[in-house]
Amino acid sequence: MEYLSAQNTSFSYEETEDEEKLEVLHGVTLGIRKGEFVALLGHNGSGKSTLAKHFNAMLLPSGGKVYVDGLDTMDENLKLEIRRRVGLVLQNPDNQLVASVVEEDVAFGPENLGIAPPEIRRRVDEALQAVEMYDYRLNAPYKLSGGQKQRIAIAGIIAMEPDCIVLDEPTAMLDPRGRDEVLSTIHRLNREKGITVVLITHYMDEAVGADRVVVMDRGEILTQGTPREVFSQVQLLKDHQLDVPQATELVWRLRQEGFDLPECALSAEECVTALQKLLTRDF
Amino acid sequence: MFVLEIKDLTYTYGGGTPFEKTAVDHVNVGVEKGEFLGIIGHTGSGKSTLIQTLNGLLRPTSGTVLLNGKDIWAEPKKIRAVRFQVGMVFQYPEHQLFEETVLKDICFGPSNMGLDQKQCEERARRAAEFVGLPDELLGKSPFELSGGQKRRAAIAGVIAMEPEVLILDEPTAGLDPQGRDMLLSQISDYRTKKGNTVLLVSHSMEDIARCADRVLVMNEGKAVMLDTAGEVFARGRELERMGLRVPQITGIMLDLMEKGYPVHPVLTVDRAVGELLPLLRKGGDRP
């Protein structure tokens, strides 16, 4: 059974004085299996964040249904149960950290769930180890780098032991090293703990590592599939002003020129290997 | 002559305390008038501290900052005037919008310079045009704008002071690829049309590669490279060791170079296609 399920989901923001009702999701149907790693791509305004916020009942559909582990998000009584299952990590780590000591920050979530102190201790230690920040447990969050802070924010979610984490552009504010740290943390949690991941990102190279890529455009799903299936559709993505990884674009453009290259190269390595097969060394 | 010259500049946080940390360590950089200088470095490399010394927000522990040949701290009481000449756009500048209307917000800087209302509004409208904010938005509350529009409004507020040097700290952070491309080309246009100097701090090598004439690389408080973008990215392996990364396309070309192919570490897919096509045609003729 699908763990997260949007069924013909529509969403409109409330009308304001001088603006008409704005529908940002138009009947989206999407199912995500337990343990799956899904990357959600699209422009700002494509509806990808709006859709993701439906998966922990932050937003409720104006039409259609959203189910989390079979629970209807419209049922007010189930809201806590749903939030326990699906944690949300946002773009700016500074807006998500509340305490002045790292381990207290991580304990904030489980404390709110009313969990017994010894159990909280265990969960906090385990969560900090999972994001490889255990050595920093007594540090002040404000002294950490962006990537470290974001890992603390993720640990705070892990400590609530959710089945699923939804991350809304978690690396947008980080430098390349911070991006790597956060991304490898997410992948490890998915692999080792079987946590379902929904990753919203603008970075195509982050999407390449997902099990499935879903591309949103103007409130609808434009295309979806494995990274290879999606990024093979370079023309479609370009028509919608979406990027593909540079390696993919290079191979695609040379292929357009008539060279016998694979339909899709996802990484720099694949691209170099493919080119080497065609390039001669006698210059 | 240099419009900005940084001479042997050192900045130490918490001097004389156990938390003493030298964030900028004996840095020398000359910025040419009209130049577009990119500044890269990983978190904690000292780049943000460095730019804050350039308009006198931080006073160097030692060394000097010369603006048009004059030490900006020669007369500390006049440091405010320096801030009109060296305009600074911070990270997430949209958090600083506060006025009732977008127009008033953009006027805030020029009005602090003592210009009358008419002059302020003229400048504000020009600045709004530069960043691509349509006229009909100027009467709205800043809080009614979209994220990208807010960012533009905040940048217009600095441009409206018509600073000789414009410094932007991560102006594209959090924008989507389309918004990022648009903002960068507007900043480039602004530089071309006004002939003003632009300093752009970014984590994104792609952004820097697209716009900058020269690139300054900061690492552990030191200026470790200062050269054209092409020359700097050709040293991709060194950048990687500093926790930085070259654009993927540049990495591919570096890889091919290391394998002995006669290519260059170009910065865009267009250039890479241009270099590879003739080579592939040769390769195709192989018996």
Q: Do A176 and B203 touch (CB under 8 A)?
A: yes
Mutation target among B137, B219, B248, B268 for the A interface, most CBs of A within 10 A: B248
Compute the C-alpha angle B30/B172/A242, nearest 5°.
130
Please state, in angstroms and rounded to a whole number, the distance separating the CA atoms of residues A42 and B189.
27
Q: Do A169 and B174 touch (CB under 8 A)?
A: yes
> If we measure between CA atoms, which residue out of B239, B165, B218 comes closest to residue B45?
B218
Mutation target among B252, B257, B285 for the A interface, most CBs of A within 10 A: B252
Strands laid side by side in the B86-89 sheet: B86-89, B165-169, B197-201, B36-40, B214-219, B222-228
Confidence of residue A28 (pLDDT cuts 50, 70, 90): very high
> If we measure between CA atoms, which residue out of B165, B142, B146, B161 comes closest to residue B56?
B165
Please state, in angstroms and rounded to a whole number, the distance separating the CA atoms of residues B27 and A215.
45
**A60 CB contacts (<8 Å, ≥6 apart)?**
A54, A66, A73, A74
Q: Do B251 and A268 touch (CB under 8 A)?
A: yes
Q: For residue B205, what pLDDT is reported?
A: 80
**Is the distance from CB of B131 to CB of B156 less than 8 angstroms?**
yes
Radius of gyration of the CA atoms of chain B, in A: 21
Mean pLDDT of all residues in A68-83? 94
Confidence of residue A241 (pLDDT cuts 50, 70, 90): confident
pLDDT tens for A262-271 read 988 999 999 9
Chain A residues with CB-CB distance to B44 below 8 A = 145
Question: Smallest CA–CA separation between A44 and chain B, in Å?
Answer: 6
> If we measure between CA atoms, which residue out of A6, A7, A47, A55 comes closest to residue A165?
A55
Q: Do A43 and B256 touch (CB under 8 A)?
A: no
Return the higher-pLDDT residue of A70 and B172: A70
Which tokens belong to B138?
Answer: 């100027």
Picking from B44, B174, B243, the nearest residue to A172 by CB comes out as B174
ipTM: 0.80
Picking from B173, B259, B262, the nearest residue to A173 by CB comes out as B173
Mutation target among B237, B280, B282 for the A interface, most CBs of A within 10 A: B280
Q: For residue B286, what pLDDT is reported?
A: 45
pLDDT tens for A181-231 read 889 999 999 999 999 999 999 888 899 999 999 999 999 999 999 999 999
Output b/e per residue, A79-116; b: 16+ Cβ within 10 A.
beebbebbbbbbbbbeebbeeeebbebbbbbbeeeebe
Mean pLDDT of all residues in A13-18? 68
Q: What is the pTM of this model?
A: 0.81
Question: Smallest CA–CA separation between B43 and chain A, in Å?
Answer: 7
> Is the alpha carbon torsion for A106, A203, B177, B229 positive or negative?
positive
- Which residue numbers in chain B have pLDDT < 50? 284-287
Q: Is B34 on the interface with A (CB under 8 A)?
A: no
**A211 CB contacts (<8 Å, ≥6 apart)?**
A36, A37, A38, A226
Picking from A177, A268, A281, the nearest residue to B252 by CB comes out as A268
Mutation target among B13, B150, B176 for the A interface, most CBs of A within 10 A: B176
B114: left (phi over 0), alpha (psi -120 to 50) or beta: left
Q: What is the mean pLDDT of chain A?
A: 90
> Is the alpha carbon torsion for A150, A155, A156, A160 positive or negative?
positive
Q: Is B77 on the interface with A (CB under 8 A)?
A: no
Chain B residues with CB-CB distance to A254 below 8 A = 273, 276-277, 280
Picking from B43, B255, B262, the nearest residue to A146 by CB comes out as B43
Residue for token pair 């149960």:
A81
Amino acid at A150: Q
Question: Smallest CA–CA separation between B258 and chain A, in Å?
Answer: 11
Check whether A20 has a pLDDT greater than 80. no
Picking from A44, A146, A257, the nearest residue to B277 by CB comes out as A257
Q: For residue B285, what pLDDT is reported?
A: 46
Mutation target among A201, A246, A276 for the B interface, most CBs of B within 10 A: A246
Question: Smallest CA–CA separation between B256 and chain A, in Å?
Answer: 7
Amino acid at B92: Y
Q: For residue B206, what pLDDT is reported?
A: 80
Check whether A173 has a pLDDT greater than 80. no
Chain B, residues 87-126, CB within 8 A of chain A, namely: none
Mean pLDDT of all residues in A162-167? 95
Please state, in angstroms and rounded to a whole number, the distance separating the CA atoms of residues B156 and B186.
11
Chain A residues with CB-CB distance to B266 below 8 A = none
The rounded percent of chain A whose pLDDT value lies above 90 is: 64
Question: Smallest CA–CA separation between A173 and chain B, in Å?
Answer: 6
Strands laid side by side in the A63-68 sheet: A22-33, A2-13, A63-68, A71-72
- Cα nearest neighbour of A176 on chain B: B244
Please state, in angstroms and rounded to a whole number, the distance separating the CA atoms of residues B271 and A20.
46
Mean pLDDT of all residues in A57-61? 93
pLDDT tens for B40-50 read 988 788 998 99
- Cα nearest neighbour of A180 on chain B: B243
Which tokens belong to B4?
Answer: 């900005």
Q: Do A173 and B174 touch (CB under 8 A)?
A: yes
Which tokens belong to A214?
Answer: 């879903």
Question: Smallest CA–CA separation between A53 and chain B, in Å?
Answer: 18
> If we measure between CA atoms, which residue out of B168, B19, B197 comes closest to residue B91?
B168
Q: Is B234 on the interface with A (CB under 8 A)?
A: no
Q: Is A95 on the interface with B (CB under 8 A)?
A: no
Confidence of residue A18 (pLDDT cuts 50, 70, 90): low
Chain A, residues 195-254, CB within 8 A of chain B, namely: 202, 205, 241-243, 245-247, 249-250, 253-254
Question: Smallest CA–CA separation between B81 and chain A, in Å?
Answer: 32
Question: Smallest CA–CA separation between A119 and chain B, in Å?
Answer: 35
Kind of pairing between the strands at B214-219 and B165-169: unpaired
Mean pLDDT of all residues in A40-48? 88
The CB density around residue B119, as the number of other CB atoms within 10 Å, is 14
A8: left (phi over 0), alpha (psi -120 to 50) or beta: left
Check whether A19 has a pLDDT greater than 70. no
Residue B78 burial by Cβ neighbours in a 10 Å radius (0-12, 13-18, 19+): exposed
Chain B residues with CB-CB distance to A250 below 8 A = 249, 252, 269, 272-273, 276
pLDDT tens for B70-103 read 999 999 999 999 999 999 998 888 888 888 999 9
Q: For residue B287, what pLDDT is reported?
A: 36
Please state, in angstroms and rounded to a whole number, the distance separating the CA atoms of residues A54 and A6.
8
Which tokens belong to B82?
Answer: 């320096």
